[in-house]
Amino acid sequence: MVEELGELVSVESPSADEQALSRSADAVAELGARHLGSRPERHGNHLVWRHGPTKVLLLGHHDTVWPLGTLARWPFTVTGGRATGPGCFDMKAGLVQLVHALATLTALDGITVVVNADEELGSPSSQGLIGDALRGATCALVLEPSAGGGALKIARKGIARYRLEVTGRAAHTGLDPEKGVNAAVELAHQTIAVAWLGAGDTTVTPTVLTAGTTTNTVPASGSLAVDVRAFEETEFARVDRALRALRPRVPGTRLEVHGKVHRPPLSPSSSAFLFQTAGDVAADLGQRRPEGAAVGGASDGNVTASLGVPTLDGLGAIGGNAHAEGEWVDLAAMPGRSTLLAALVTRLLRR
């Protein structure tokens, strides 16, 4: 498992690089073929293994957030029982665990595996593929990395993304600044207003802010990106109303708001039965019952849950520092997690 994890990590796969993703898809396809006995369907750089009509859908992704060239300064390394390297935790170790789990089963009938290549971008080109694979499924198991200490992810916030666009009027800052209408100043007002919309577990975060063209011109236009995360649909509706109710503060500017929910929340009700079953399976194996965690990040599990299919997430690797330099995997935990997944799939198929 360690050698295979090293193979996958050593093939870089940034989400926006199609050539790199193609090489990574080749590596994942080869790994799956060795353990599952068949090559996947290839949909661009997305991979699908089908074994009859879907009863249990297993989900993972092979793209990462790390740009090409990261591996040169941060190679795959094993030290003191930990592996580190770009993408090892999120989520190439989960892919290794997945194929090893399925390799122990006597039959794969009813199991469909989807490994997509754009999860870190919000799965824009693979959501349809996931929805198609989900038809007839009784549940979805997501091999994203675990929460702290190996906890399973029983709830996830949804994500909405917005863009505020401001139009003003350009003017020379030295000759006639009074003729200009400053879009940057308007955006400053709107950034502060947006930042106050979060409440409780709901976060509303201004992120990318741009305005202006040259240092001696009053900015004629600008934009602000806004990231919204919430556990409840009602919160998304509240924030949407508040954003669309914003009005310009600087006379002469025009404000437009664009955006929507991209991934609905994964609620605890979607995962409750599967979480209980996973705990029972772990106990039967002599393992400690995994804890459950609600997390702020979203995954393809949000998609499957929103389509009405019971979903359990975080069944992948134990480790830490996802999306951060130094992300790591607990190698000693990989066989146990793989065993848990195999036993859980077996029990769900019998049901």
Of the residues 12, 63, 90, 327, only one is catalytic, namely 63
Q: Is there a catalytic annotation at residue 119?
A: yes
Name the one residue in this structure whose structure tokens are 């799939």: 345
User: CB neighbours of 231 closer than 8 A, spacing ≥ 6?
Assistant: 155, 157, 158, 201, 202, 265, 267, 294
**Can you tell me the distance from the alpha carbon of 114 to that of 41, in angstroms, rounded to the nearest whole number?**
10
**Can you tell me the distance from the alpha carbon of 229 to that of 239, in angstroms, rounded to the nearest whole number?**
10
β-sheet bridge partners, residue 31: none
Of the residues 4, 12, 90, 119, only one is catalytic, namely 119
Q: How buried is residue 175: exposed, middle or buried, by Cβ count under 10 Å (0-12/13-18/19+)?
A: exposed
Q: How buried is residue 83: exposed, middle or buried, by Cβ count under 10 Å (0-12/13-18/19+)?
A: buried
Q: Is there a catalytic annotation at residue 330?
A: no
Give, in order, the Cα–Cα distances in Å from 251 to each of 61, 68, 116, 255.
48, 45, 47, 11
**Can you tell me the distance from the alpha carbon of 277 to that of 184, in angstroms, rounded to the nearest whole number?**
54
Strands 139-142 and 111-116: unpaired
Residue type, position 173, single letter? T
Give, in order, the Cα–Cα distances in Å from 92 to each of 63, 74, 155, 228.
9, 16, 22, 27
Q: Answer whether 249's CB lies under 8 Å from 194's CB.
A: no
What amino acid positions are annotated as catalytic residues?
63, 119
